């Protein structure tokens, strides 16, 4: 029974942790608490000194709850809270006499009101009010002494700040007594300001009714965003509670008579800010200064610290300066994902700059992209995806069409600039910049005219270490990014009181005692190994095994071994099935395997009754093998006792978040699109989640490289908008939502069996922006979450040390290393270009041969292929005799409305292997080939890796529409006659 009681008390503390930590004075509670070891106490005290009471209180609570616990631990904690003066904190965890939620809400509203009015309350007679509050026992003797000391050392306002911080920790009822004290100590204007009656002879005024005052949407916004509460009025992030009354600007005294919350924040106010001035916090201004002097820099600050706001400020000052000098300015903000275009435009650049400058946004989804050159000409600030700018820079380079030149721009802001590495679109843009920069150096020496280049501003939360295991390699990685961005400095700083890190926990998962469903799948896989004479060397379902299977399939295709190839393809799907039953429900794994088998069987059924597609002996063996086990798999999938423990851990965590918070809003990151959709369905179908108000939906990538139907950009935007508005409060996402997503109210993040590198970890953790956020890892079998997370933590430490070491370099040493990296990058780029040109095989396209990946039948040569936009098509008559058309059910569901999209794909007439899709080009059916479906040879040698057309360095001719159209018209005329 004692154990049950302890668990109940632990849950009670966890449920009220967010409010409890606000009401704990860590140093005093530690003095009274004797169930925590001295070394632990010292660690918590150190945390209080470095990160403040709020974060330290979190560690204190965790220390109290840590097992094994001393007998009587709970009462000892309650007594420590009472004896340290934190009586309201003690009230919050009384199991037999819980705090009334209405009283709690009323008290929170009082605290918010004091926070809003704190700048004006700083002018109180601190010593007099301090004595009166002590007499009425609103504050403890320790509080009184600290307020006196602070007043002596920091003046009247410093003491008032400490007094307000102390008084709001009191038990409910303190507010009316505080009003009484203000009235009795000749603070009539402050008394009236805080809600008292203007007639001092009347009874003490009451706080406006909660029924009449909106708590969450308006009052909360006022507390966070009004200039009176913030060090700098234009920032989004609310300071931590213990520092709410520090560093208030002088202009904040201009308080309106009404206590209505401010709506001046540009993100909240529909009409944008009332003025154009953007003010920064001290740490933001520190990192911005070199950019304000016109230097290229990288700003490296944690997620949620206001990097984008700094970029807006720099943009405005840049344009202001250009205008003052009589020159025009042109700023482009580059992002790497379509949803970020709208986010940066709507939340930051448009609200602050629209009154002074023309701001526009363009993305791949926008019709404006076709007139991008005009958009650049006619606007001062353009937010766009990087690929659009790269496309138009290439146009200007080739001269084929009107494009955009780097010299047209005066400032480029690169968001998530850690992507400026080899192969990325950011790097393509910056390589153009570096080539022109070094060309300018040569032109200047020759006393010739140089071309102007824009200033560069990079933004990132984490440049990462690039897989480095040694400090030297980590430094080299970061220096290469600095070199690619031509950054004169990498700017970072300590956020001090504004630093906010979510609570982190790892939910480890025990292996199933029994896993008959998984064992049966493994038995099927072993039967296939025997049939194909394959001998795997790693655990079935592991990542190593998947890599082994993919390699076997690729080798078998090039060696024209259809037996091993088709077995390897099936093994890959069974491996995915194992992963799914370890991640989501067994029935989801079974549905996946069933759909795959049915799709494979469909390939063997021709729409033409006279045509027979061969089913090989191996294919029949594989079909029969699954059919023979399908019934047993179905029976096992319906037994909940065999479900994976990961799912139950996730269920407990999500339910805890939604029952312990007033307004929970979170993101679950998972590995695959299929698991994201399945988890979303699982939550929507479970009534327990609905009972606690969970409204879940998934968001996955828009790319079409997966067998799972992708989300369109419009669908992604719709879901993210609903999440921001609260219509959806739990997002299940793949890594598409890791970077840049800015949801201020998101207060918990769960990574479900997904850990990649240190950059992704920082980005995912940073999605939790709200106060008291949590970050949880839920282990999944074969995911290695705990080990990878440990490695990533080490890499983050290495990254921070590397950045600090780079920042201590002498400027001449830094410049020399940057120049060396840039020269190397340019030379390597030239070598790659030369190699690419050599590999284009332009004169020998007839020797490039394509054969069916499944049955090895010769299909065509490079001479038969032409280009329609980015598609490789074969319109030869002989080729049309080799394939059949099938309906693409995925595209049917999407209701094809593109001018080039049809609902058909093409497949081998002999074996049913998919070759590509049918596209419609200006009234002509054009079979479009997907190279991954073929084995490619050149001069008789097979190319072992050819999964995309970029792997095949051939420039195919453009489709001759007139020639082919004339031929088609001639045939139709003959038929008409």
Quick one: pLDDT at residue 723? Answer: 85
| Top-ranked range on mean pLDDT: pick from 83-97, 865-879, 932-946 | 865-879
Q: What is the pLDDT of residue 488?
A: 92
Structural tokens at position 212? 């009449």
Judge whether residue 976 has pLDDT over 60: no
Alpha-carbon distances of 620 from 563, 615, 624, rounded to whole Å: 11, 7, 6
pLDDT score, position 314: 94
Does residue 308 carry a pLDDT above 80?
yes
Provide the pLDDT for residue 786: 63
The average pLDDT across 731-757 equals 71
pLDDT band for position 229 (50/70/90)? Answer: very low
Q: Give Cβ neighbours of residue 566 (< 8 Å, ≥ 6 apart).
A: 616, 618, 619, 622, 854
Residues 6 or more apart from 932 whose CB is under 8 A from it? 853, 946, 947, 948
* Sign of CA pseudo-dihedral 278, 281, 287, 290: positive
Comparison of pLDDT for 188 and 206, the residue scoring more: 188
Q: What is the pLDDT of residue 486?
A: 93
Q: What percent of the chain has pLDDT over 70?
A: 79
* 106-148 pLDDT tens trace: 887 888 888 777 777 888 888 888 888 888 888 888 888 888 8
Higher-pLDDT residue of 16 and 882 is 882
Where residue 652 falls among pLDDT bands split at 50, 70, 90? confident
Q: Which of 483, 488, 451 is nearest to 829 (CA)?
A: 483
SS (H, E, C) 754-817: CCCCHHHHHHHHCCCCCCCCEEEEECCCCCCHHHHHHHHHHHHHHHHHHHHHHHCCCHHHHHHH
* Measured distance CA(8)–CA(115) in Å, rounded: 34
Highest mean pLDDT, choosing among 149-163, 703-717, 862-876? 862-876
pLDDT tens digit sequence for 658-678: 888 888 888 888 888 888 888
Secondary structure of 176-233 in HEC code, one letter for each residue: HHHHHHHHHCCCHHHHHHCCCCCCCCCCCCCCCCCCCCCHHHHHHHHHHHCCCCCCCC
Dist CA 455 CA 433 (whole Å): 10
| pLDDT band (50, 70, 90) for residue 42 | confident
At 411 the pLDDT is 96
Residues 165 and 162: their CA atoms lie apart, in Å, by 5
**How is residue 535 written in tokens?**
């001998």
N-terminal to C-terminal alpha carbon distance within the chain = 96
Residue 526 pLDDT greater than 90, yes or no: yes
Measured CA to CA, the distance from residue 149 to residue 805 in angstroms comes to 40
Q: What single DSSP character describes residue 956?
A: P
pTM, rounded to two decimals: 0.55
Higher pLDDT, 541 or 198: 541
Q: Is the pLDDT of residue 552 over 80?
A: yes
Instruction: Pick 372 or 704 by higher pLDDT.
Output: 372
| pLDDT for the residue numbered 896 | 45
Euclidean distance between CA atoms 140 and 171, whole angstroms: 12
Six token digits for residue 394: 């290439």
- The pLDDT score that the predictor gives to residue 104 is 78
Q: Among residues 363, 489, 545, 503, which one has the least CA distance to residue 61? A: 503
Give the pLDDT band of residue 762 (cuts 50, 70, 90): low
Res. 316: pLDDT tops 90: yes
pLDDT of residue 909: 92
pLDDT of residue 869: 85
Q: Is residue 228 very low, low, confident or very high in pLDDT (cuts 50, 70, 90)?
A: very low
Separation of CA 106 from chain center: 36
Higher pLDDT pick, 968 / 814: 814
Q: What is the DSSP letter of 149?
A: H
The whole-angstrom separation of Cα 937 and Cα 168 is 76
Query: In the prediction, which pLDDT does 357 show?
Result: 92
Report pLDDT for 278.
80
Token pair 């003959």: residue: 974
651 pLDDT higher than 90: no
Helical (H) or strand (E) element with 43: helix 38-51
- Mean of the pLDDT values across residues 751-775? 60
Mean pLDDT for 947-975 is: 77
Burial degree of 830 (CB within 10 A; 0-12, 13-18, 19+): exposed
Q: List Cα–Cα distances, 657 to 399, 662, 667, 689, 734, in angstroms.
A: 57, 9, 11, 11, 21
Using alpha carbons, list the distances in angstroms from residue 92 to 21, 86, 99, 107, 795.
11, 10, 6, 13, 40
Find the farthest-apart pair of alpha carbons in the chain and give their distance in angstroms, rounded. 110
**C-alpha count within 13 angstroms, C-beta hemisphere, residue 679:** 35
**Mode of pairing for the β-strands spanning 774-778 and 503-507:** parallel
pLDDT-based confidence at residue 1 (cuts at 50, 70, 90): very low
pLDDT at 768 over 70: no
Inform me whether the pLDDT recorded for 234 exceeds 50. no
Please provide the average confidence, as pLDDT, over all residues in the chain: 79
Distance of alpha carbon 236 from alpha carbon 266, whole angstroms:
9
Tell me how far the alpha carbon of residue 503 is from its chain's centroid.
Answer: 18
Mean pLDDT of 836-865: 84
Provide the token pair at 847: 């020797």
835-853: average pLDDT: 78
Q: Which residue has the tokens 């069974």?
A: 574
**H helix or E strand, kind and range, residue 291:** helix 282-292
Q: pLDDT tens, 636-650?
A: 988 888 887 788 888
Pairing mode, strands 883-887 and 901-908: antiparallel
């Amino acid at each position: 029974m004692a154990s049950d009681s302890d668990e109940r008390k632990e849950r009670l503390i966890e449920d009220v942790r967010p409010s409890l930590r606000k009401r704990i004075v860590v140093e005093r509670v530690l003095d009274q608490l004797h169930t925590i070891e001295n070394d632990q106490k010292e660690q918590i005290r150190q945390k209080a000194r470095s990160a403040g009471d709020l974060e330290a209180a979190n560690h204190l609570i965790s220390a109290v709850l840590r097992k094994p616990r001393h007998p009587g631990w709970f009462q000892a904690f309650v007594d420590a809270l009472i004896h340290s003066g934190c009586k309201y904190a003690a009230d919050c965890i009384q199991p037999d006499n819980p705090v009334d939620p209405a009283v709690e809400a009323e008290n929170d509203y009082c605290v918010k009101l004091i926070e809003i009015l704190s700048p004006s309350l700083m002018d109180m007679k601190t010593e007099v009010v301090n004595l009166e509050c002590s007499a009425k026992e609103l504050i403890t003797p320790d509080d009184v002494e600290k307020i006196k000391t602070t007043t002596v050392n920091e003046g009247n306002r410093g003491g008032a700040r400490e007094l307000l911080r102390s008084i709001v920790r009191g038990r409910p009822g303190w507010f009316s007594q505080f009003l009484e004290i203000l009235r009795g100590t000749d603070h009539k204007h402050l008394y009236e300001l805080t809600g008292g009656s203007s007639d001092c002879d009347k009874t003490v005024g009451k706080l406006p009714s909660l029924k009449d005052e909106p708590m969450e949407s308006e009052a909360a916004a006022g507390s966070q965003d009004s200039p009176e509460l913030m060090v700098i009025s234009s920032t989004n992030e609310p300071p931590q509670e213990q520092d709410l009354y520090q560093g208030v600007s002088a202009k904040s005294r201009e308080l309106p008579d009404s206590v209505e919350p401010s709506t001046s924040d540009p993100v909240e106010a529909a009409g944008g800010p009332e003025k154009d001035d953007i003010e920064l916090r001290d740490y933001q201004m520190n990192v911005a200064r070199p950019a304000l002097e016109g230097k290229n820099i990288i700003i490296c600050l944690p997620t949620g610290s206001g990097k984008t706001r700094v970029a807006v400020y720099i943009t405005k000052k840049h344009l202001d300066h250009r205008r003052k000098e009589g020159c025009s300015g042109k700023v482009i903000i580059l992002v790497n994902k379509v949803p970020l275009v709208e986010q940066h435009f709507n939340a930051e650049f448009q609200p602050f700059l629209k009154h002074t400058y023309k701001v526009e946004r363009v993305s791949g989804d926008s019709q404006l992209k076709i007139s991008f050159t005009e958009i650049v000409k006619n606007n001062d600030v353009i937010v766009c995806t990087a690929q659009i700018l790269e496309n138009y820079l290439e146009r200007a380079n080739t001269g084929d069409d009107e494009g955009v030149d780097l010299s047209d721009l005066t400032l480029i802001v690169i968001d998530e600039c850690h992507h400026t590495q080899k192969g990325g679109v950011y790097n393509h843009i910056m390589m153009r910049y570096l080539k022109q920069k070094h060309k300018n150096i040569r032109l200047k020496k020759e006393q010739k005219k140089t071309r102007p280049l824009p200033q560069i501003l990079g933004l990132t939360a984490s440049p990462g270490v690039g897989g480095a295991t040694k400090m030297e390699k980590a430094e080299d990685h970061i220096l290469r990014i600095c070199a690619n961005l031509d950054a004169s400095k990498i700017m970072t700083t300590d956020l001090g009181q504004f630093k906010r890190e979510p609570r982190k926990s790892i939910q480890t998962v025990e292996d199933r005692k029994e896993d008959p469903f998984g064992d049966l799948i493994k038995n099927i896989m072993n039967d296939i190994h025997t049939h194909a004479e394959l001998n795997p060397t790693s655990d079935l379902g592991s990542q190593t095994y998947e890599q082994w299977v993919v390699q076997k399939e690729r080798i078998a295709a090039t060696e024209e071994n259809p037996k091993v190839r088709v077995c390897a393809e099936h093994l890959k799907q069974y491996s995915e099935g194992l992963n799914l039953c370890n991640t989501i429900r067994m029935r989801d794994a079974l549905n996946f395997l069933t759909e795959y088998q049915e799709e494979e069987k469909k390939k063997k059924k021709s729409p033409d009754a006279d045509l027979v597609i061969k089913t090989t002996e191996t294919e029949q063996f594989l079909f029969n093998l699954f059919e023979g086990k399908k019934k047993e798999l179905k029976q096992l999938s319906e037994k909940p006792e065999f479900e994976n423990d990961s799912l139950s851990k996730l269920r407990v965590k999500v339910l805890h978040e939604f029952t312990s918070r007033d307004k929970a809003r979170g993101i679950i990151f998972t590995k695959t699109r299929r698991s994201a959709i399945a988890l979303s369905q699982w939550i929507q179908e479970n009534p327990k989640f609905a009972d606690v108000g969970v409204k879940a939906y998934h968001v996955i990538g828009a790319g079409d490289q997966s067998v799972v139907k992708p989300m369109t950009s419009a669908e992604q935007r719709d879901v993210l908008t609903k999440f921001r508005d609260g219509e959806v409060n739990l997002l299940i996402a793949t890594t598409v939502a890791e970077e840049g997503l800015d949801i201020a109210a998101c207060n918990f993040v769960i990574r479900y069996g997904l850990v990649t590198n240190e950059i992704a970890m920082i980005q995912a953790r940073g999605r939790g922006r709200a106060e008291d956020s949590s970050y949880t890892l839920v282990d999944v079998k074969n995911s290695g979450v705990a080990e990878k997370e440990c490695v990533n933590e080490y890499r983050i430490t290495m990254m921070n040390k590397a950045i600090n070491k780079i920042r201590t370099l002498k400027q001449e040493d830094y410049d020399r290393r940057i120049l060396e990296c840039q020269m190397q990058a340019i030379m390597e780029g030239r070598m790659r270009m030369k190699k690419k040109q050599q590999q284009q095989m332009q004169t020998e396209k007839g020797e490039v041969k394509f054969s069916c990946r499944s049955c090895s039948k010769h299909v065509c040569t490079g001479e038969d292929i032409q280009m329609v936009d980015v598609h490789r098509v074969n319109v030869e008559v002989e080729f049309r005799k080799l394939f059949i058309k099938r309906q693409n059910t995925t595209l049917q569901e999407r209701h094809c409305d593109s001018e080039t999209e049809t609902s058909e794909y093409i497949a081998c007439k002999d074996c049913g292997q998919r070759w590509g899709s049918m596209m419609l080009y200006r009234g002509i059916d054009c079979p479009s080939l997907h190279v991954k479906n073929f084995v490619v040879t050149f001069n008789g040698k097979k190319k072992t890796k050819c999964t995309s057309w970029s792997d095949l360095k051939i420039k195919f001719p453009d489709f001759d529409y007139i020639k082919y159209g004339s031929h088609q018209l001639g045939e139709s005329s003959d038929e008409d006659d």
